[in-house]
Amino acid sequence: MNGKGSVTLNAGIEKAWEVLLDPEALKNCIMGCKKLEPVNENKYEAEVSIGIAAVKGKYESTIEIADVQKPNHYKLVVKGEGGPGSVEAAGVVDLVPIDDNKTELNYTYEAEVGGKVAMVGQRMLNGVAKLIIQDFFKKFNKELAKSEQSI
């Protein structure tokens, strides 16, 4: 499964970058994320509960951030495993400034799922991926607004 897309963030590039790499903000934005803790500088451990088709359950995953070119580009490598199966995904994020308060974010991803979730959820995976991503950016813009207020 793969896909790409682009979204406009309501913040300048520096701000957007900062919030994108803030574990607390990310935790709030990822659907079903129960835990997101840094293990070292560019690696996190996460626990995500999510249901796809009839397959609901918890994934324990590691998220690695690689290829960092602050504040324009980075790559996310996600490896998750749990009762419903396994996920291996890689996403590439590129930020392009539009103006002081707007940034364009372009992303591409490739993901492979295994186990039960692949067996019974295959038909919906693309839809689910889009849903999760849309949900992420909706919440992310809220996080950006929140961090603006807190300044």
> Which residues lie closer than 8 Å to 133 by C-beta, 6 or more apart?
3, 5, 107
Report the C-alpha gap between 148 and 69 in whole angstroms. Answer: 24
| Residue 113 near another protein by CB under 8 A | yes
| Residue 127 near another protein by CB under 8 A | no
Residues of this chain, 29-88, that bind another protein according to CB under 8 A: 53-54, 57-58, 81-83, 85-86
Peptide bond preceding 84: is omega within 30 degrees of 0, i.e. cis? no
| Residue 146 near another protein by CB under 8 A | no
Residues of this chain, 2-31, that bind another protein according to CB under 8 A: none
| Number of residues lying near another protein (CB under 8 A) | 19
Q: How far is the CB of 148 from another protein (least distance, A)?
A: 41
By C-beta, is 22 or 81 nearer to another protein?
81
Report the C-alpha gap between 100 and 1 in whole angstroms. Answer: 35
Q: Side-chain half-sphere of 118: how many Cα atoms within 13 Å?
A: 12
Q: Residue from 118, 128, 129, 144 that binds another protein (CB under 8 A)?
A: 118
Which runs of E-coded beta strand occur in 10-54? 33-40, 43-52
CA 26 centroid distance within chain: 8
Residues of this chain, 82-111, that bind another protein according to CB under 8 A: 82-83, 85-86
Instruction: Report the interface residues with another protein, using CB under 8 A.
Output: 53-54, 57-58, 81-83, 85-86, 112-116, 118-120, 122-123
